[in-house]
């Protein structure tokens, strides 16, 4: 199974959509709320070069934003 992580904030609509997709396909994931976790925020920026969320990491592939089809392809669902 692929290792999946998502960097989110509480108010991010696209983060919620990505998590709904994970749940729909029963994908286990680690969630990091960068709105209140400074260390994870720094980690996210280092990985993506971006401050926007969501940042989704599937294995070593970093995606900024939510694109349903691309995410499904990366997950293999």
Phi then psi dihedrals of residue 65, to 5 deg = 95, 180
Residue 76 domain flag: no
CATH number at residue 12: 3.40.30.10
pLDDT in tens, 31-52: 999 999 999 999 999 999 999 9
DSSP assignments along 50-66, one per residue: ---S-EEEETTEEEES-
pTM of the model: 0.94
Within-domain flag for 35: yes
pLDDT digits (tens, 9 = 90+) for 19-30: 999 999 999 999
Structural domain includes residue 74: no
**How many domains is the chain partitioned into structurally?**
1
Tell me the backbone φ, ψ of residue 50, rounded to 5 degrees: -125, 160
Q: Is residue 48 part of a domain?
A: yes
Sign, Cα dihedral of 50, 51, 56, 57:
positive
- Residue 14's domain comprises 4-65
Return d(Cα 20, Cα 50) in angstroms, integer.
23
Give the tens place of pLDDT for each residue, 1-15: 799 999 999 999 999
Is 56 domain-assigned?
yes
Cβ contact 18:75 at 8 Å: no
């Amino acid at each position: 199974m692929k290792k999946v992580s998502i960097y989110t904030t509480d108010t991010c609509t696209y983060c919620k959509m990505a998590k709904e997709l994970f749940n729909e396909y029963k994908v286990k994931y680690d969630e990091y709320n960068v709105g209140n976790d400074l260390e994870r925020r720094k980690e996210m920026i280092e990985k993506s070069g971006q401050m926007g969320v969501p940042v989704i990491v599937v294995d070593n592939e970093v995606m900024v934003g939510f694109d349903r089809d691309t995410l499904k392809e990366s997950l293999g669902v």
